[in-house]
Copies of this chain bind each other. A is one copy, B any other.
Amino acid sequence: MSILVLGTTALDTVTTPSGKREAMLGGSAVHFSMAARFFTQVNLVAIVGRDFPNKHIHFLLKKGINLTSLIVEEGRTFRWEGEYCGDLNTALTKRTELGVLSVFKPRVAESQRNIKNIFLANVDPDIQQRLLSHMRTPQLVGLDSMNYWIDHKRKSLLKLLKKVDIFVANDAEARSLSQETNLIKAAKCLRKMGSSIVVVKKGEHGVLVYCDDFLFSLPAYPIERIADPTGAGDTFAGGFMGYLAKVQKVNAKTMKKAICYGTIMASFNVEGFGVERSSRITKKDIDARLAHFKKMISF
């Protein structure tokens, strides 16, 4: 079954030890879509300005992403500029230009309002809530957020958490929202806040998953040459939610496989700047790496 993702479509300027790229295609909804497209039909809900290059629209359409609900508004596209140093785990934000994102009111085309699988990538929780209220029969809803909203829109976020099935957070966010340092305690606390499944992303250290029925952690796929970690979390979510949308079943087995697909998609993503690498891989590449990952962790 198809999936709908709400998030940002951005122009990113990124500097890492591997180099610099200016105003390249990025944003949470884009990274998510580039991964999820391998598993299901992806419908992107986002906003861009008139300055958004046509070539990016063509690129996304060519990759099979449905852009019916991508709003093109007067103004400038959301832009982010960041730099990664040292261990590449943390981005230093150098500039953020919200542009049209500051007036974003998501609209979902009539034909898309019955989509059952939904991912609310990182935007203002009020916008995430508004999108969710447009959907007629949400069945599996995933949510991502960030420290800024945890600090500034905690109330809205907590309200939203009660309406979603899967909460995806990185370790710092999980700790911050739960006020627990031990990640298992943090995940249990987040579970009590509403979503029945909590997925804690630990970057190069892998993922921890908690729900009432199971708890497990898996390592990341080891990557030596990381070109650009931007979008790794959204790419992970894309592979993860895309696979769940495809199999339409949530249990320990499918969750584990979904996490593995997310892990593999993220491992490709970080090997290139922006969506450079994700745009060139095939399902065969993905399955070959998944098989290697499976072999790596089995004993």
Interface pair B88/A181, CB less than 8 Å apart? yes
Among B185, B219, B256, B294, which residue has its beta carbon within 8 angstroms of that of A206? Answer: B219
Interface residue A184 (Cβ < 8 Å from any Cβ of B): yes
Interface pair A218/B215, CB less than 8 Å apart? no
Q: Which residues of the other chain, B, contact A202 by a CB distance below 8 angstroms?
A: 205
Measured in the bound complex, the distance between the Cα atoms of B296 and A260 in whole Å is 13
The count of chain A contact residues (Cβ–Cβ below 8 Å) is 34
Among B222, B256, B257, which residue has its beta carbon within 8 angstroms of that of A217? Answer: B222
Q: Which residues of the other chain, B, contact A226 by a CB distance below 8 angstroms?
A: 182
Q: Which residues of the other chain, B, contact A224 by a CB distance below 8 angstroms?
A: 182, 184-185, 188
Interface residue A253 (Cβ < 8 Å from any Cβ of B): yes
Measured in the bound complex, the distance between the Cα atoms of B220 and A183 in whole Å is 12
Interface pair A217/B216, CB less than 8 Å apart? no
Interface residue A223 (Cβ < 8 Å from any Cβ of B): yes
Q: Which residues of the other chain, B, contact A87 by a CB distance below 8 angstroms?
A: 181-182
Q: Mark A41-61, 1 if CB is under 8 A from B, else 0.
A: 000000000000000000000
Known: A184-B223, A222-B208. A297 touches B216 (CB 8 A): yes
Measured in the bound complex, the distance between the Cα atoms of B226 and A206 in whole Å is 20
Nearest B residue (CB) for A225: B182
Interface residue A298 (Cβ < 8 Å from any Cβ of B): yes
Interface residue A86 (Cβ < 8 Å from any Cβ of B): yes
Q: Which residues in chain A, 231-260, are within 8 Å of chain B measured between CB atoms? A: 253, 256-257, 259-260
Q: Which residues of the other chain, B, contact A257 by a CB distance below 8 angstroms?
A: 299
Interface residue A204 (Cβ < 8 Å from any Cβ of B): yes
Measured in the bound complex, the distance between the Cα atoms of B223 and A60 in whole Å is 43
Interface pair B217/A220, CB less than 8 Å apart? yes
Interface pair A219/B222, CB less than 8 Å apart? no
Nearest B residue (CB) for A202: B205
Q: Which residues of the other chain, B, contact A183 by a CB distance below 8 angstroms?
A: 204
A9 to chain B, nearest CB (A): 30
Q: Which residues of the other chain, B, contact A205 by a CB distance below 8 angstroms?
A: 202, 205-206, 219
Q: List 17 A-B contacts (CB under 8 A).
A: A86-B181, A88-B182, A182-B224, A183-B204, A184-B222, A184-B223, A188-B224, A206-B206, A206-B217, A215-B222, A215-B296, A216-B296, A216-B297, A217-B219, A253-B299, A256-B298, A256-B299
New contact pairs (10) apart from A188-B224, A217-B220, CB-CB < 8 Å: A87-B181, A182-B224, A184-B222, A206-B219, A208-B222, A217-B222, A219-B219, A253-B299, A256-B298, A297-B298
Chain A residues proximal to chain B, CB less than 8 Å:
86-88, 181-185, 188, 202, 204-206, 208, 215-220, 222-224, 226, 253, 256-257, 259-260, 294, 296-299
